[in-house]
Structure 1
Amino acid sequence: MNTILQQSFAVSFQYPVCFTEDLFDPSNSLFVDALEKGKICKTFFVIDDGVAKAFPNLIHQIQTYQKVHHDRFSLSADPSMVPGGEECKNDPEIYQQVVRATHEFGIDRHSYIVAIGGGAVLDMVGFAAAISHRGIRLIRIPTTVLSQNDSGVGVKNSINYFGKKNYLGTFTTPVAVLNDFNFLKTLDDRDWRAGISEAIKVALIKDLDFFEWLEQNQKAMAAREMDAMKTQIIRCAKMHMDHIAGKDPFEFGSSRPLDFGHWAAHKLEHLSDYRIRHGEAVAIGIALDSAYSHLKGWISEEDLMRILGLLQGLGFSIYEPELSGENLIQGLREFQEHLGGQLTIMLLEKLGKGVEVHEMDHELIEESVALLQHKSGKLILS
């Protein structure tokens, strides 16, 4: 005889994604407003060491801010510095450093871990917070274009393992995402540019009007005009948030439209030993999947040239030597493994509209690579 008790419940998730300047100015209450009210909240800050070097007064600003708002939160210890970029996700010792801190400083489920840095640091710290005490409250403070318009606003946390991108991770919502545009001012040109690839991605699969806006404002963004960048970031973040709130926020299925251009990008990062940064790899992945869509007869040559022209106009490469060979096809297999189901790849039916496919022609992938290699030496004017 079988006895089956059926369990069913739903949990609602809410968190604010905020945009500001001078987050730790004592007169700016945005940070303390994100904390639980009616108590002094214990906090522990983990800071990307590149951000700390670019903003040498940051720790002092945080300490001063806490003294002004001492009735709202405390600092459990001095902030912990961690390396930025993929290094922090590749070395298990670094996430374990954060986990040890939760033990040593008594960071419990009612405390807050505050992560300040680029997307890799947010991923790593979020993973450490999620597995400590089965989940410590996390506040993300993204400091790059890519983390402010895409990765920082979502629900994913991860580290790399077995040489594979994001192999270990969780889906865990933050308490709040606090974006301070001032952090963008010290980015080098590569990091300033890199995050725009995620805006191109979401525009191509969801919003032709946004793609045309990106075309019209590419020179302003390339010239580091802040108003254009702010508009791009907020608009891109909103589109990512709208998608996350849709049918499958924790990706139980195999459909991942926001990974347009990413199956190749993840492999390119690894093959280049992370010489190619994530946003740069995504730009190349977009170029590859757009070329494939063109060779399939779905988008015209004119449309393909518009896409490549926008990428090159912003300063992206559309081809790197690592793009060639069997290793790229292996990346396709690893992407399917990561999905955990049937292969599902987002391509372009037309500009502003994606279409999912469940198989890719390996010969056509090679033709797409050859096409990009041919076009890479030419500046395509959009």
Structure 2
Amino acid sequence: MKITAIETLRTAEFANVLWVRIHTDSDLIGLGETFYGAGAVEAHVHDTLAARLLGRDPLRIEAIHRDMLNLPMAQSSTGVEYRAASAVDIALWDLFGKVCGQPVHQMLGGLCRDRQRVYNTCAGYRYVRTTNIRPVDTWNLGEAAGPYEDLDGFMNRADAVAESLLESGIGAMKIWPFDPPAQANEGLFISAEQLKKAIEPFEKIRKAVGDRMEIMVEFHSLWNLPTAKLIAKALEPYKPTWFEDPIRMNSPQALAEYARSTDVWVCASETLGSRFAYKEMLDRDATHVVMVDLCWTGGLTEGRKIASMAETYHRPFAPHDCIGPVGFVAAVHTSFSQPNTLIQESVRAFYTGWYRELVTEVPVIRDGYVLPMEGPGLGTELQPAVFDRPDLTVRNTSR
């Protein structure tokens, strides 16, 4: 079997989502995805990677992965080179599963459990749907499109959101009420009034449901170290499960200082690319929970290596999902195949909402757990309607 064509697809409406389809002479097609800067990633796929892919055996995944990242500018980041390689790699694993007639989680070693616990990231229906990525707390805030407008919910009615999640069996949620003061003050300081306001959602959740709800705190790398430590101390009485990306993920030493300053776990980081960046964090005891975004860090090939490395440091693994539907599916396959997976991120406004507009199958989430995907490969394809969209851009490079 040989790769005969590389196809990319993107739309004006979902402008940051890029799909890659790997065509072969056996008529099998592998589907991959990445997110953010879709036009730039598209250019790299066709102008740089296509020549390294066409005519090759798509099942030589490790060799192809090495060649895609054996470039002077591909240096352990989540830049264009890694995002492009991630999308291609996911597509190759989809192909591998289809060739063998098995789900990707089976190709990665098989199920480690029959169901996987999830938490709900409290985004809204249009959180990352549009072209412009504005400050995270205001991404389409207030544009309700259904019952799970959880961004507006946690900002204003965190107790009601927690109760709603528990009713559906989901016992963990992630929120980011500290983003507004971070943006207002450029992450340099937080006033007493701002601190009190940002803590309100935690007070509401604990008052309404007690300790039945786990709370993960997302900081989006917006704070300097002293302020991040101050916020951590203020939040400790509310017993959060983890603090995620409190500072920029470019200083393992600074993150290690932060980790030593609090009893709450540190989670890092969707923003890291390749296992080498994670090793720097792990060697310094800077992180307790290893989070990976498979669409950014190098795909399934790199993601499983990071999970395995985390296990050697006795650290749990927690795949990221707050981007596109194919990435979510890939993360679920990886979660099931890794023995140290703690929990899988999910967004109910996405998997009950816009994900269904784009792919044929989304993972089933029931009673707070995600179930394994069925069918060969990833187990999902682009909806036929995607190919008929008037805002669709398709680029194809073939032999």
* Alignment TM-score, normalising by the size of structure 2: 0.28
Please tell me whether Structure 1 or Structure 2 has the larger radius of gyration of its CA atoms: 1
TM-score normalised by structure 1 residue count: 0.29
Flag the structure with more relative contact order, 1 or 2, with Cα contacts below 8 A and sequence separation at least 6: 2
